[in-house]
Amino acid sequence: MHVYIYDTFVSDKKHMNKVSRVETRITDLGLNGKIVRLGLISSVSNAIENEIKKGAKTIIAVGDKQILSQAVNAMAQLLAHETIGQSVPLGFIPIGKKDILTADFLGVGSAELACDILSQRRIEILDLGQANNSYFLFSAVIPTEYTTIEIDENYTIEIKEPGEIGVINLPLGFNLPQTAQTDPADGSLELVVKTAQGKKYLPGKQGSSNQGVFAFNKLRIINKKYPVLLDGVKKLTSPVDIHLAPMKISLIIGKNRKF
């Protein structure tokens, strides 16, 4: 059974037409299932856990990257506690203009196209990053200012120019230098440093000499001023320990995915 988890804002009037078109398309494709509408105090984690216990075979997050991130987290927590198995995949139907980038990156496209992607059921098993007790699918990002990173308990790095540090699994919204080649299924995360000078690309050129790329097993981010931002949604205060999560997530994606 498909279970559609609707974010709170999806019920807004302005999304009514789009949601209606999505529901029609879902019916046409024979992908009908249960709709769970989140309230202001409902927990995505509880909703997903309950539905999987009741026999849900596919979970679909309907909304923006916030609910996608929450669903990824919830499923990772359930996988960690062996409440669910790897076989329950997660799909995504984007609602709202803010999430064109996320949907495009996953090859899901528009809301209606996302229904077709669900029906094609192309599943990729992807790595996850773990930051303290939270999980991320895309990246963990923090400004370089005031940041020290301890890597593998062997060495530390400090960055002398303003910029961004990203621990990358999937490089959504993070222009990687030429040197960094990320693969979300290779069993590793990459630490990428991008400074202000490094952003000044020449037309037609990518990357810059002013960037850093590090392979690591585990690292600790220390910054007393700024939090670490997971998947552009969740903030964690320092210190934050990051490593590859022991579990992977099954994600339904489109063939035009950008990774």
Partner 1 sequence: MFKDLKKDTDAKQAETVIGASVKVKGNFHGDGDIIIKGEVEGNVKTKNFLLVDKSAKVSADVSAKDACIGGKISGNIKVSDYLEIKSSARISGDIHAKELSIEKGAILNGQCHMGDNQRKESEHKNP
- Interface residues toward partner 1, by CB under 8 A: 154-161, 163, 177-179, 181, 193, 195, 197-198, 207, 209-215
- Residues 6 or more apart whose CB falls under 8 angstroms from that of 100 comprise 94
Nearest-angstrom CA–CA distance, 171 and 190: 10
Contact 86, 250 (CB under 8 A): yes
Q: How many Å from the N-terminal Cα to the C-terminal Cα in the chain?
A: 29
**Nearer CB in complex with partner 1: 28/152:** 152
**Nearer CB in complex with partner 1: 86/178:** 178
Q: Minimum distance from CB of 42 to partner 1 (Å)?
A: 44
3-state secondary structure of 11: helix
* Four-residue CA torsion sign, 240, 100, 1, 123: negative
**Nearer CB in complex with partner 1: 244/251:** 244
The label of the residue with tokens 């301890």 reads: 150
**Nearer CB in complex with partner 1: 8/188:** 188
**Nearer CB in complex with partner 1: 207/227:** 207
Q: What would the two tokens of residue 162 be?
A: 């303003």
Q: Minimum distance from CB of 161 to partner 1 (Å)?
A: 4
Q: Which helix (H) or strand (E) holds 149?
A: strand 148-151
**Nearer CB in complex with partner 1: 222/233:** 222
From 88, 78, 76, 62, select the one nearest 8 (Cα to Cα): 62
**Nearer CB in complex with partner 1: 85/162:** 162
Q: Minimum distance from CB of 107 to partner 1 (Å)?
A: 24
Q: Minimum distance from CB of 220 to partner 1 (Å)?
A: 13
Q: How far is CA 247 from CA 36, 76, 77, 156, 187, in A?
A: 26, 7, 9, 27, 10
Q: Taking each helix axis as running N to C, give the angle between helix 111-120 and helix 16-28, from 0 to 180 degrees, rounded to the nearest 10.
A: 20
Q: Minimum distance from CB of 110 to partner 1 (Å)?
A: 34
DSSP state of 259: -
Q: Minimum distance from CB of 185 to partner 1 (Å)?
A: 18
Q: How far is CA 175 from CA 150, 157, 165, 247, in A?
A: 23, 21, 12, 26
Q: Minimum distance from CB of 98 to partner 1 (Å)?
A: 31
